[in-house]
Amino acid sequence: MRTPYQHVEMVPEASDFLELLRELGHLDDAAIDSLTAALMDAAKPGDAVAFADARRAAAGWLADNEARIRPENRELLQAEWARLFY
């Protein structure tokens, strides 16, 4: 269990990717917080979160929360999915 003062280290590509998803409107602040918490729980002590791990976590969150995504954002996400996640 994480303590309130823990934070998650990410390689720059991982944090940039999550920020890109926020800028594109695919993730909001609550989603970023949820992803960060999940990545923190899964992170190994002393290791930064890798880009592949952040991308996998984001894809999972988006798939699990598809119903919460506004229809216009869902359409955009479907169009961009292959470029973002493959």
Please write the tens of the pLDDT for every residue from 19-69. Answer: 999 999 899 999 999 998 888 888 887 889 999 999 999 999 999 998 888
The Cα angle at residue 72 between residues 69 and 76, in degrees rounded to 5: 90
Q: Dig out the tokens for 1 from the structure.
A: 């269990």
What pLDDT is attached to residue 57? 94
What pLDDT is attached to residue 16? 96
pLDDT at position 9 over 90:
no
Where residue 3 falls among pLDDT bands split at 50, 70, 90?
very low
What pLDDT is attached to residue 6? 59
What pLDDT is attached to residue 46? 81
Q: Computed over its alpha carbons, how large is the radius of gyration of the chain?
A: 13
- pTM for this predicted structure: 0.82
Distance separating alpha carbons of residues 28 and 19, to the nearest angstrom: 10
pLDDT at position 1 over 60:
no
